[in-house]
Structure 1
Amino acid sequence: MLEYIFNDRLFVTYTCPYVWFISASLVFVLETIIGIRAPYGRYNTNNSGVPVRLAWFIQECPCVFVTCYLLYTNWSSVSFTKFFILGLFLIHYFQRVFIYPMLIRGGKHSPYFTTILAFIFCALNSYAIGKELLAYHTYPKNYLFSLRALAGTILFFTGFILNLQSDAILRNLRKDDNDRGYKIPRGGLFEYVSGANFLAESLEWTGFAICAWTLPALAFAVFTWINTAFGRGIHHHQFYLEKFKDEYPKNRKAIIPFIL
């Protein structure tokens, strides 16, 4: 039964993406309108759960392992175009799974339930994106030279580089693992928004969605904007304003420079 479901094109192409759209709507209501803060990171006040480095590895690793499995099982029919586009996905998550956790300084534990939910999301999302792209979607010849593919790729790498820069700025605010205090981040996109890393990652997945041009990729980009950019970005902005008050830069917005 499970084998049938996970090989069903309806699940990959439509069911999974629409679940993300619905989930994004619920998250928007709960986090952005009602103001509920997901209890991980700085909002995990009792610091219980999975150690932060291990939590990042556990919850993000399906994006690498599932995608590599799909590449392996579909290798005979993988074109360079599909390999390149899916390679963008792997570039981000290779860094997130094997490099980023090792660089974290002083992060808080992640609640068990949050880690499990993130693991499930990453597993299903990477399966839907990879399976749709490799097994069901077709691209015209020389697609990678099209305006859409070039624009999407440029936007992806712009977001990727800005994301690395933002993570480095945040990481360097702390001396070591024993330093758990919060300081005002400065430099890069942080001169414009409080959620610089969230904005950068949202730009990444928008670029990926444009380049891949599939419904699962679009659904992931929308979910990232709602959950990560608007949800976490607005909450972080409120956190900084409450903590630093008049010290916090007056012209800095939450997530959209000069606007929001």
Structure 2
Amino acid sequence: MSIKSIVVIVRDDKVLEPMLKAAVALTRRLEGHLTVGHIVPPAHMPAGAIGRAAAMEYVTEADETADVKADRLHSKVNAVCEGHLSSWQWRVEHGDELEAANRLVEMADLVIIEQRVQGVIEDLMSTDVVEHLLAHGDCPVLMLPIDWQGEHIGEKILVAWKPTREAKHAVHDAMPLLARAQDVFVLAASGRRTDAAAGSDLAGYLAHHGVRAQIVGESDDGDGDITATARNHGCDLVIMGAFQRSSLTELVFGGATKFMIRHSKLPVLLRH
């Protein structure tokens, strides 16, 4: 697989610059095309709006504010991308955030998105865009921490490995990044098979693709092992499968996956 069509979804000015710099650097490294996407959600009327006229006035004002914000972001995006990329575009999608995100990434090989930090209530009542794209999208998701300032991603990579369908998809789809990395480390989950056997199988597979990987130990599949190992080896990217477990009504992401999505301080490439 090659990664040529890259989409980065930007929301606001707060993390725009580091998000763009990382996306531009990665696009240049992969010699790809970058789509910078922005979503304008529908305006919701406040509870205090009284009467049709007040409601219409509020919606109109909210739409105008959203358009001004989109234009401002476009100008900043243009300043970063112009002259640094030979192939890129700006794209705005209106409507429900999850549906708009689906449209943006429909033809993507990789989507880059910022980490969302939600409170307890929001976490229970809303679907995270990262989780939505993982569950329903057809490409890997590269999540950047909200405080990420690094420009280069993928020079030192940790693969959090478990012999599952999701982890295999993640490694397969990330092969262009693995092939370009300076160092690749494998942290294999312990289970029925020994960590050495599981890690050796992956190392052999990577070697067939010209990637030399170093097995650095075993994990109990806990989030602490993944983050600690990545930091100890100076990694700037973690690659892992996004594992789901069944609840009464839906599939939800469990344990280590949920933790990494919410709390990782390093970029994480996930695939379901």
TM bucket (normalised to shorter chain) is under 0.3
What TM-score, normalized by structure 2, do the two folds share?
0.27
Higher fraction of helix: 1
What TM-score, normalized by structure 1, do the two folds share?
0.28
Greater RCO (CA < 8 Å, at least 6 residues apart): 1
